[in-house]
Structure 1
Amino acid sequence: MSDQVILYSEQQRFKQFWLWAIILGAAAIFWAGFIYQVLLGEQFGNRPVSDVQLAILFALMGVGMPWFFYQMKLTTEVRPGEIHIRFWPFHVRPVIIHLHLVRDFEKVTYNPIGDYGGWGIRWGFKGKAYNMSGNEGVQLRFYNRKPLLVGSQDAVALFEAIKLAKELR
């Protein structure tokens, strides 16, 4: 079924200002330490690490961490009879949800922190969630497992595409 027509496609990235402020603020500390100690030759902090250790920390935290968060993306595709969800880089292949296993579904507004503990691939009392930003999505209820929430920036279009995909299967 992977060569079938795509009824809905959405790609999301982390775009919360506060998250990027924390990530870039932490990275800036490593940039400052690297520039100050390695490039300018001054001691950075009361108990400085060696230049090699600082260069490794700079590469991991000053460059690697922002790049890692920038590369993260949630791709949702609705095809006849199935939904493909891929949370890069954690999913090498998409998670395929067969719609014949879905009992019912609805568009929901939820509290990401209160209901699931935040954004990303999350588990909470209300089931599992795939979300990147915002507070809207489609809640899928299954016959044989806990509910799954698929976050979306256009939950109405996702809901309509799932309804059509379930009919086309």
Structure 2
Amino acid sequence: MMQRANYSFRETSRLFRPAFLFSFLPVFVIMAWLFFDQRAKRDNLGVILSIVIIVICIAALCFMFLLKLTTTITDEGIAFKYAPTMRQFKIYPWEQIASVSIVSYNPIQDFGGWGLKKSKKYGKGYTTKGNKGLWIQLTDGQSILLSVFATENIKTIQPHFLAKKLLQ
């Protein structure tokens, strides 16, 4: 349905940033030091612990590298997919949408960070980089915030969707 439509807007953004590598660097250095220190002391528990922590850090970095938010807006509605946590697009037809607006938000204050989070103000948030989002309020009272960068592109298609139903 949504994937065959003629897209008026489509954007893909990733969560991963090079700064994440630098935030994990002290952990890697400490764990490498611990590994060699405990190995020299023949402390198997310390060696195993350092290896486990390094593997967990590498797995977390790989997961962050894979996270990708794809947002589409068409005549049919708004769809998004937050891969790899979502395998298929979540589609909201215009009939289920009460309002849509572009908002500025603070990822730390409003959501406690990036990723898939909840906020009292915006509801469920699918955030990557930046501080601009597409805030979707549904007719059932739920709301969703999707990180977007190309807000000007959304504003240019806005009259089309206002004529159709909304997008303020």
Task: State the TM-score, normalizing by the size of structure 2.
Answer: 0.76
Counterpart-to-counterpart distance in 1, 2:23 and 2:118: 23
Match of 1:5 in 2: 6
1:23 counterpart = 2:19: no
| 1:1-169 paired onto structure 2 within 5 Å | 1=1, 2-15=3-16, 18-33=19-34, 36=36, 42-43=40-41, 49=45, 51=47, 54-58=50-54, 60-126=55-121, 127-161=123-157, 164=160
For structure 2, which runs of at least 5 residues remain unmatched after alignment?
A: none
Q: Deviations 1:69-93 (Å, cap 9, x if unpaired)?
A: 1111111122321222111221121
Give the distance between the partners of 1:62 and 1:31, measured in 2 at CA: 12
Deviating runs (4+, > 6 A) in structure 1?
none
CA contact (8 A) 1:27 1:61 kept: no
Cα deviations by residue, 1:96-151 (Å, 9 ceiling, x for unpaired): 12222112221111122222222211111121211111111121122212222111
Q: Alignment identity in percent?
A: 20
- Whole-angstrom CA distance in 2 between matches of 1:117 and 1:136: 16
Determine the C-alpha separation between the residues in 2 that align with 1:5 and 1:155.
19
CA separation of 1:159 and 1:96: change in aligned 2, threshold 3 A:
farther
What is the CA–CA distance in structure 2 between the aligned matches of 1:115 and 1:129, rounded to whole Å?
9
Give me the TM-score of the superposition, normalised by structure 1. Answer: 0.76
Distance across 1 between alignment mates of 2:29 and 2:92: 40
Aligned residues between the structures = 163
The one-letter code sitting in structure 2 at the alignment partner of 1:70 is F
Report the Cα distance in structure 2 between the residues aligned to 1:15 and 1:167, rounded to whole angstroms: 37
Supply the distance in 1 between the matched residues of 2:9 and 2:33 (Cα, whole angstroms).
44
- For residue 64 of structure 1, report the CA deviation from its aligned partner: 2.0
- Whichever residue aligns with residue 64 of structure 2, its letter is F
Kindly state the Cα deviation for residue 30 of structure 1 after the two structures are TM-superposed: 3.8
Q: Contact conserved, 1:108 with 1:137, CA < 8 A, in 2?
A: yes
- Computed over aligned residues only, the root mean square deviation of the Cα atoms, in angstroms, reads 3.1
Query: AA paired with 1:42?
Result: A
Q: Which moved more, 1:20-29 or 1:112-121?
A: 20-29
Measured at CA, do residues 55 and 129 of structure 1 come closer, stay the same or move farther in structure 2, by a change above 3 Å?
closer
Superposition deviation, residue 20 in structure 1: 3.8
CA gap 1:51/1:27 in 2 versus in 1, 3 angstroms: closer
